């Protein structure tokens, strides 16, 4: 079964994000409360900074339910994305995710070789393609060392700042 991205969830289930997600956030925060209390107590004690750091890392690595923390963070991102969605003139996290999903191969003339796409790097002169677009929609130039996603490619190709590049890619996806 294919896992949905946060953007796909936001688009597919806007009503559920308003009702179910806040309830789930409260439930997970309640489950994580003992860890929060422990860290608060730890930092109130008169330990040196290294001891506090060491104890907190041991607890975090050995006992903290990291999957729940990651799930909570994703739920909080969804709520934030929904709040920012539709604000006029501003870009939100959903816009950034949508821009990052824009295929780099559509920005360049690429040739497919195996699971990767290759092109001549748009940032320097070359005869043999050294610009590789990976399956995760990131690009790497093996000549000049550039590495980035579609936003960074547009920024560098068109000498744009981050927001301009996101808006440029938004215009191309509509």
Give the pLDDT of residue 173: 58
Report how far residue 76's alpha carbon sits from residue 55's, in angstroms, rounded to the nearest whole number. Answer: 27
The whole-model pTM stands at 0.56
Model pLDDT for residues 14-31, shown as the tens digit of each residue: 888 888 889 999 999 999
Residues of the chain whose pLDDT is less than 70? 1, 85-90, 173-174
List of domains in the chain: 6-85 (no CATH), 99-173 (3.90.580.10)
Main-chain phi, psi angles of 30, to 5 degrees: -65, -40
Give the pLDDT of residue 89: 63
Give the pLDDT of residue 11: 80
Residue 131, classified by CB atoms within 10 Å of its CB into exposed (0-12), middle (13-18) or buried (19+), is: buried
């Amino acid at each position: 079964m294919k896992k949905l991205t946060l953007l796909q969830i936001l688009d597919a289930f806007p009503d559920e994000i308003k009702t179910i997600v806040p309830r789930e956030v409260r439930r997970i925060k309640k489950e994580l409360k003992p860890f929060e209390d422990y860290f608060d107590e730890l930092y109130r004690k008169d330990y040196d900074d290294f001891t506090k750091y060491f104890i907190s890392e041991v607890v975090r690595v050995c006992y903290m339910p990291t999957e729940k923390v990651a799930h909570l963070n994703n739920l909080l991102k969804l709520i934030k994305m929904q709040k920012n969605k539709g604000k006029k003139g501003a870009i939100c996290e959903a816009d950034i995710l949508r821009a990052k999903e824009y295929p780099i191969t559509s920005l360049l003339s690429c040739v497919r070789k195996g699971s990767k796409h290759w092109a001549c790097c748009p940032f320097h002169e070359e005869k043999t393609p050294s610009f590789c677009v990976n399956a995760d929609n990131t690009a790497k130039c093996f000549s000049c060392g550039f590495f980035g996603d579609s936003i960074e490619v547009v920024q560098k190709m068109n000498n744009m700042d981050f927001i301009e590049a996101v808006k440029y890619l938004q215009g191309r996806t509509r």
